[in-house]
Structure 1
Amino acid sequence: MPDNNFILGFHFSVVFELVPQFSVDTKFQSVSGLKVTMDTESVVEGGQNRFKHSLPTRSGYQDLVLKRGLGSDLSGISMWCSQALEDFIFSPANLTVSLLNENGDPVKVWYVSHAIPLSYEIADFNAEESKIVIETMTLRYNFFKEIPVPGL
């Protein structure tokens, strides 16, 4: 009988293969952009006017967007983004995104290959609101794939 235990998406971690890396560098509020789509090419068949054939050409991956509260701690990821966006020195990094269970053990893991920063944004400041300032990092990557978790 199939297991119908659906995974909740609020307990996760993001780990970069970067040096230096600090404890703040695994804590994010949200992760989006683990999406792959297939590009197609339309081909018209001679004598057939009712439809076009769609032939797959290549996969395309959406940009990865990471959001977290802005803190005063030193961040290796922020330094990595600054180096790329301000100094134009790009050091592609691999990372893993893991969904965790209630014990902090990975349930699903995705490997993201060759990520580079595209943008770094600090949310608006507003004297009329008392809320956490959010920093947003947008990354372009080559591909992602799911990594099997041993024991599951």
Structure 2
Amino acid sequence: MSRLDALQGGHESDSYMKIATNLRDGHEWLYSQMFDYFADVLDEESAQHVLDILQLYDALKFSYEKLADKSGIDPSDIEFDGFDGNNESEMLGFADALFKDARFESLLKGRDLNSHYPTYDVYCRMLEKWDELGRPQFPLSKVAITAIIDARIHPENR
């Protein structure tokens, strides 16, 4: 609500404040009165999945930049590909909302967040590998970066 306080005195500030108050207080019946469309809430598990993926890619990007020897790692391999707009639109929308809220800016700025192909399974394999490695702290070693990147490839195709 503090951001809305900055609108104080504007002709729309009272309207925005009412909307914000009703959203904050959970008056769901009023939502349909305030908006033409109200998207389904992204479930907590999916939201955490998106956050985990973005944290992983943030770690990969930061760690890659710190490596003295980058040989054998294609810079495009550590770039976040986004989510499929057709099959993962809720996750894509959440990533976009995070960016608009100034989160993960260095990772998401200037990127098309629509991968145009399903990424869920790929990211799950990468997160599993990161977990296997014990979610090492920054900076990740070259070995850890390579292992996580290699996890993108389905085991049947290795």
TM-score interval, smaller chain: under 0.3
The TM-score, its normalising length taken from structure 2, stands at 0.22
| Higher relative helix content | 2
